[in-house]
Amino acid sequence: MEFTPPPYSLNSLKQIHRALFSQVYSWAGEVRFSAISKDETRFCSPERIAPEAAREFTKMGAVGWFEGYSRTDLVVAVAESYGTLNVVHPFREGNGRTQRILFEWLIVNAGYSINWELVDSEEWVNANIRSYLGDDGWLAHIFDRCIGEPITESEAL
């Protein structure tokens, strides 16, 4: 999937989800209409998905999609926003993969590389649970490991 620059919105997530899963799910790219949870984690009520997503995308847009952020500030900001959008969980399945692509675009647009291969799946799940409980520090630790150095002009070409 090719990089798409900001602005981003719930429609961006829907487009990514459709591109990833249209061959698997007839409902790919459609926001869920039923309540879902995973273990003790209850995700956003369907009627709150659009307004909660809009609030987080508005917040990211207001700060310029993290452009110009130092690496340290970027790590903290993307961890907080990722955790918030993860609770929104707009789709029945495939939220994590969809959201990681969007955040890869955010990070690259901010001028940094990212390597998701440095994430252990169990650690990732636990960090998302901790974020749900109000502690984005675990997600920040993972983003700190995965976000690389600034992308140089020669790398961008």
* Burial bucket for residue 77 (CB in 10 Å: 0-12, 13-18, 19+): buried
| More confident call, 155 vs 78 | 78
pLDDT in tens, 14-27: 999 999 999 999 99
Within a domain: 118: yes
* Domain presence at residue 37: no
| Angle at 67 (CA atoms; ends 63, 70), nearest 5 degrees | 100
E strand or H helix at 125: helix 121-132
Q: Are 136 and 72 in contact (CB under 8 A)?
A: no
Number of domains in the chain: 1
61-72 per-position pLDDT tens digit: 999 999 999 999
Q: What is the spatial distance between Cα 146 and Cα 144, in angstroms, rounded to a whole number?
A: 6
CATH number of the domain residue 115 falls in:
1.10.3290.10
- Give pTM, 2 decimals: 0.94
83-103 pLDDT, tens per residue? 999 999 999 999 999 999 999
Asked whether residue 1 is assigned to any structural domain, the reply reads: no
Q: 10 Å Cβ neighbour count for 128?
A: 22
Express each pLDDT in 114-148 by its tens digit. Answer: 999 999 999 999 999 999 999 999 999 999 999 99
> Domain span at residue 108?
10-23+45-156
Inside any domain, residue 31: no
- pLDDT interval class at 54 (50, 70, 90): very high
Cβ(95)–Cβ(86) under 8 Å? yes
Q: How far is CA 6 from the centre of its chain?
A: 13
Kindly indicate the confidence band of residue 39, based on its pLDDT and cuts at 50, 70 and 90. Answer: confident
Asked whether residue 85 is domain-assigned, the answer is yes
The answer to the question of residue 5 being in a domain is: no
Assign 40 a pLDDT band (cuts: 50, 70, 90): confident
Spatial contact of 90 and 10, defined as CB atoms under 8 Å apart? yes
In a domain, 40, yes or no: no
Residue 82 included in any domain: yes
